[in-house]
Structure 1
Amino acid sequence: MNINNDQFNEGLLKFIDASPTPFHAVATMQAALLKAGFQELKETTAWGTLEAGGYFLTRNASSIIAFFLPENVNLAETGMHMVGAHTDSPCLKVKPQPEKVSQTLWQLGVEVYGGALLNPWFDRDLSMAGRVSFLDSKGALKHALIDFEQAVAVIPSLAIHLDREVNQNRSINPQLHLPPVLMQVEEGENTDFRALLEQQLRQQQPELDAGRVLDYEISLYDTQPSALTGLNQDFISAARLDNLLSCYCGLQALLASDHQRPMLLVCTDHEEVGSCSTSGAQGTFLQAVLQRLASGSEAEHRMLQNSLLISADNAHGIHPNYADRHDELHGPILNRGPVIKTNANQRYATNSESSAYFRYLCELADVPVQDFVVRSDMACGSTIGPITATRLGIKTLDIGVPTFAMHSIREMAGSRDAWFLFQVLSKFFSQL
C-alpha cells in the first residue's frame, strides 16, 4: 500500500464515520473486499475446493471473516496467520416498545449495551442507525440497514441549579435518566417508532418497497465527525475507536499484504457483552470456517497448531491526570507504538512465545512496541484473545493501540499509532 500516515488516518476516519453500528462496519468492510477482488461465500452453500485467492463471509451481518489462500497451499503444514478484532462498541440501544411521551416530549426507552461510560452521552447531537426487518408490498420478509444520519435526538442534562451537588456526586439511573428526546408532540399525535422507521426507509431507499416494520436493532450514536485533534494533530478523536480502529488496521493489512502465505481476518460482534452469541467469539463462526478449510480433523488440528492469532483490541494509555491508575512501569504512551497486553491470570492470551514473536515483528517493521500490565490491586478486562485461544487451542497474543476515554461516546488515540499497528500487521501477514 503506497500511502503515508496522513492518508491512512484519512481512510480510518472515513471508515469510522461510515460505521455507526456493527452492521454498517461489516457492510463497509464487505465493499472494500469486493473492490479488491475478494469473493463472497455463504455458510449455507457448498464451497467445494477453493481456488487460490481471497474470500469472505459474514454471519448475522455483524461479523465477518476474510481470508486469502495462495497457490498450492497445504494448510496443515503452513497454518494460518490470523488477526482478530471486534465490530461492536458500548452504546445505547432502542428497546422493542420504546415509545414514551412526557411533558409533551416524545422520548425513546433505551438499554445500555456493554460497559458504556454514560456521562458523556448527555447533551450530544445523537442520530440512530441499525438493521430493520420489514414486509415489502408483496408480503416478503426483508432486512435492510438504516441510518438517520442527521441529529434527531438528545439526552439533556439536568441544570446545575436543580442539582447543586452534581459536580461532587452525579449518579445516573439508566431507566430514568437516559431516554432521549426526539421531538415535541401534541396530544394524540402519532408516536409509533416502527412507523418512523418505515418512513425513513422509504425516504432513503425507495427501491426496497418497504412496508410494515416488524422489528429492528437500532442504536444511538454521536453525529460529531471523527477528527484529528491537538495543536500538531497528534491525536485522533472519534467514536468507536474501540475497536473499529483495529478492524480497519487488520483489513488494510490483509489487502496490502503480498499474499504469499495463508492469512485470515476475523471481526466478530458482541465482544463488549462477553462474546456469547452465534456471531461472537464464543460462537462457532471462526471454528466452522477453519473446519471447512481443513481436509479432515487431523489436518485441522495440525493447521491450528501451526497457526498464530493476534487479538487486536485497544489498550489503556496512561492518562496524565490519572497516572496513579497504572503500574508505573507499564503505562503505555500515545504515539509510541502498539502495546503487548499481559496478565498472569489469563485475562489476556499472551505468553512469552507469542510476545517474543510480536517484538520480533515490530523490529522487522521498524515499529516501537510497549507493554501493559494492569496494577496488581486492580481488576483486568479481557478480549476475544483468551476466548479464541481456549475454543481453538491456537497460540494467541493480545495487543492494541493505547487509548484514552475507552468506552466513552468519544475516545482518543495517537495519530501515529494506527499507522504503526497497520505496519506490523502487514509484516505479520507477509511473514513466511
Structure 2
Amino acid sequence: PYHSVAACAGLLRAGGFTELADGAQWKLARGGKYFVSKGGSEIMAFIVGGRFCQPGVESGLSIVGAHTDSPCLRLRPNSKVSGAGMLQVGIQTYGGGLWHTWFDRPLGLAGKVVVREAAPGRPDETRLAEKLVRITDPLMILPNLAIHLQSAEERKAFAVNPETHLQPVLCSKMFDDEAGKEASRPEDAGDARHHAALLEVVAKRLGCAPGDIMDADLCLMDSMPACLAGLYEEFISSPRIDNLLSTWAAVQGLCDFAASSAVADCQDVCIAVSFDHEECGSQSTCGADSNSMSVWLESLLGALEVPPLARPLVYAKSFLLSADCAHGVHPNYAAKHQSEHRPDFHKGIVIKTNANQRYATTALTSALFREVCKKADVPVQDFVVRNDSPCGTTIGPIVSSKLGIRTIDIGAPQWAMHSCRETCASSDARHLRALCGAFFESFRNIDTAAAKM
C-alpha cells in the first residue's frame, strides 16, 4: 500500500494539490486543492468547490472511496528460514489470497523499511527514518511440487498449507556460503532476524548498511510488470488490480475535475479517499473502520468555518461511491454467476447489490448513480451474488454506517480476484476514470433535482 499512496501523492502534486499535515490545524480556501495521508498507506485528496456552503446553496461531500491494499505474502519479523540446503524467507499470508497462484513465479519485494541514520545537522546523533524500497528483480521463487511426487488425491485437491508450503526460496546455502554473507555477520548481530543476503540487497537499494535496518514491512510481489494482453491487447494483466484500479481512477478522476472550469461553480467538497487494511477487516489506524476519515472531515469543515449545527445537513447531502472491483463473468465458469447478473468486460461499471447489506447500495443510490453514468456516457451493469454463494464486502457498509451518508457499491469487472495476477478490460479502466470525473462534476445537480422522501 505504501507505494500506491506515494504514486497517488505524485499525481496530486503534479496536479497542483497542496499537502496537509495529519493532525495539524488546516488553512483551506474555496477553490483550493489539498491532500493528506496517514502512515504512508491511507490518503485523502479533496477540492473545495468555489460555492461550497455559500448562503442559499445546497452543499455536501461527494466522495469516491477505495482501498490501497491487496492480498499478498508479507515477511515475518523473523524471516530467516532454511530447509533442504536452501535459504528461504518466512512469510505471513495477508488477506484472503488465491495462494496457489503465487507458485512458480519470480518474486520481487516492496514495502517500508525503518533505518537508523545520521540526524541532519547533528553528525554525532542518529534518528529513525522510514524509507520505501521496491526491488523488481526476481529475488525469490516459490516452486511447485512435481506431479510425480503427489498422490492422485493431492493432485486433485491442490490444497496449499499456508504455514508449510508458502516459504519462498531465496538462494542455495552452497552459493550463499561461497559469497560469505552469513559468515561475515556475528551471531548476535541485531539484524540476524533475516538472512544477511536479503538484507544486503535491501540495504544496497536504500543506500545504507545492513546493520542500519531496524525493522521492515515488506511484501512479496510478482516481479513481472503489468502488460496489455489478448490478441487485440484489450485486457490489462497486472498484480493488484483489486483495488489499485479504483484508487487510480478516484485520484485521476479528481485531478481531471481539478483541471476543469467547473471547480469555481462547484457546490460540494469533492473527495477521493483510499484506505488500508480492507482485505483484513479495516480495523486499524489507517483502515476504513478507524476514525481517521471522520477526523479529517471535521478538520475540513472546521477550517472552512462551517458551524457545528450546520454540519449534519452537509453529511445528509453527502454521497459515497464505494469503488471496488466486481466479479466479471468467467467464460469457463459462467454458472458461478447468478444468471440475470453476469457483468461482462467492456460493458461498463457494475452496481453491486446485496439484500443483507454486504454492499451498501439502495434503490435511491442506484438510481442517482445511473443518472451520473448517463451524463458521463458510461454503460452500467448489475451484480448480485447467487443465493448459494458467499458474498464479499467492501468499505461501503463501514463508511456509510460510521458517517451516516448515502452510499453505493460499484466497480469495474475483473477476473481472478485475489490472484497473484489479475485481469480486467482496458475499456473498463477508461469507463471508471470517466465516471469518477463526471461524478464530481454532475452529482450535486442530479441530487438537488431529485424528489426524495
Calculate the TM-score normalised by the size of structure 2.
0.87
Measured in 2, the distance between the counterparts of 1:154 and 1:426 equals 41
Question: What is aligned with 1:19?
Answer: none
1:263 aligns with 2:270: yes
Contact kept in structure 1, 2:34 and 2:45, CA below 8 Å: yes
CA contact (8 A) 1:202 1:209 kept: yes
Question: Are residues 1:144 and 2:141 paired?
Answer: no
* SS at 2:138 equivalent: coil
Segments of 4+ moved more than 6 angstroms: none
Paired position in structure 2 for 1:176: 164
Shift of 1:44: 3.0
Aligned match for 1:301, one of 312, 329, 335? 312
Q: Deviations over 1:340-379 (max 9, x none)?
A: 0000000000001110011111111111110000001212
Distance 1:44 1:421 in 2: 32
**What are the within-5 Å matches in structure 2 for residues 80-91 of structure 1?**
80-91=61-72
Q: 1:423 aligned to 2:423?
A: no
**What is the distance in 2 between the residues matched to 1:282 and 1:296?**
26
Show structure 2 runs of 5+ residues with no match. Answer: 119-124, 183-191, 445-453
Residue 102 (str. 1) matches residue 103 (str. 2) = no
Identify unmatched segments of 5+ residues in structure 1.
Answer: 1-21
- Aligned residue pairs: how many? 410
> Which residue of structure 2 lines up, in the alignment, with residue 163 of structure 1?
150
- How far does the alpha carbon of each residue in 1:114-151 deviate from its partner, in whole angstroms, 9 at most, with x for none? 01001110000101110001111432111100112211
| Partner SS for 1:403 | strand
* CA spacing shift, 1:30–1:210, aligned 2, 3 Å: farther
**What percentage of residue pairs aligned between the two structures are identical?**
41
Which residue does the alignment assign to 1:221? 221
Contact kept? 2:328, 2:344, Cα under 8 Å: yes
Q: Using the TM superposition, give the Cα deviation of residue 189 of structure 1 relative to its aligned residue in structure 2, in angstroms.
A: 5.2
CA contact (8 A) 1:195 1:212 kept: no
Could you report, residue by residue, the CA deviation over 1:88-118 in whole angstroms, capped at 9, with x for unpaired residues?
0000011000101212211011111001001
User: Matches of 2:362 and 2:44 in 1, distance apart?
Assistant: 25
Q: Deviations over 1:289-308 (max 9, x none)?
A: 11112234323211111111
Provide the residue aligned with 1:58 in structure 2.
37
Matching of residues 383-394 of structure 1 within 5 Å: 383-394=394-405
Kindly indicate whether residue 25 of structure 2 is the aligned counterpart of residue 46 of structure 1: yes
The amino acid that maps onto 2:295 is A
- Equivalence for 1:185: 173
Q: Does 1:134 align with 2:125?
A: no
- Aligned residue number for residue 376 of structure 1: 387
Map Cα deviations across residues 203-233 of structure 1 (whole Å, 9 max, x no partner). Answer: 3343x78852121100000011111111112
Secondary structure at 2:136 match in 1: coil
Paired residue type of 2:194: F
The aligned amino acid for 1:322 is Y
Residues 126 and 153, structure 1, Cα contact 8 Å, conserved in 2: yes
| 2:155 alignment partner, SS class | coil
- CA shift digits 1:240-278 (9 cap, x unpaired): 000000111111110111324220000000000011101
Please, what is the CA RMSD of the aligned residues? Answer: 1.8
1:27 aligns with 2:14: no
Alpha carbons of structure 1 residues 152 and 325: separation in structure 2 relative to 1, 3 Å: same
Higher gyration radius (CA): 2
Alpha-carbon contact 1:89-1:242 (below 8 Å) kept:
yes
Name the structure 2 match of 1:351: 362
Structure 2 counterpart of 1:14: none
Q: Is the 8 A contact 2:111 2:219 kept in 1?
A: yes
Q: Secondary structure at the match of 1:427?
A: helix
In 2, the alpha carbon distance for the partners of 1:52 and 1:195 equals: 52
Aligned-partner Cα distance in 1 for 2:155–2:349? 35
Q: CA 1:100–1:205 in structure 2 vs 1: closer, same or farther (change >3 Å)?
A: closer
CA offsets 1:55-82 (integer angstroms, 9 cap, x no match): 0010110010000013352189410211
Question: Where do 1:388-427 residues align within 5 Å?
Answer: 388-427=399-438
TM-score of the two chains, using structure 1 as the length reference: 0.91
Q: Is the 8 A contact 1:195 1:213 kept in 2?
A: no
Note if contact 1:341-1:399 (Cα within 8 Å) is conserved in structure 2.
yes
How far apart in 1 are the matches of 2:199 and 2:89?
17
Return the match for 1:329 from 321, 334, 340: 340
Cα distance between partner residues in 2 of 1:201 and 1:154? 17
Moved more, 188-197 or 139-148: 188-197
Instruction: Name the SS of the counterpart of 1:292 in structure 2.
Output: helix
How many Å apart are 1:194 and its aligned residue? 7.1
CA change 1:388–1:338 in 2 (3 A) is same
In the alignment, is the contact (CA less than 8 A) between 2:11 and 2:252 conserved in 1?
A: no
Deviation, 1:49, is 4.5
C-alpha distance in 2 between matches for 1:154 and 1:205:
23
CA gap 1:185/1:195 in 2 versus in 1, 3 angstroms: closer
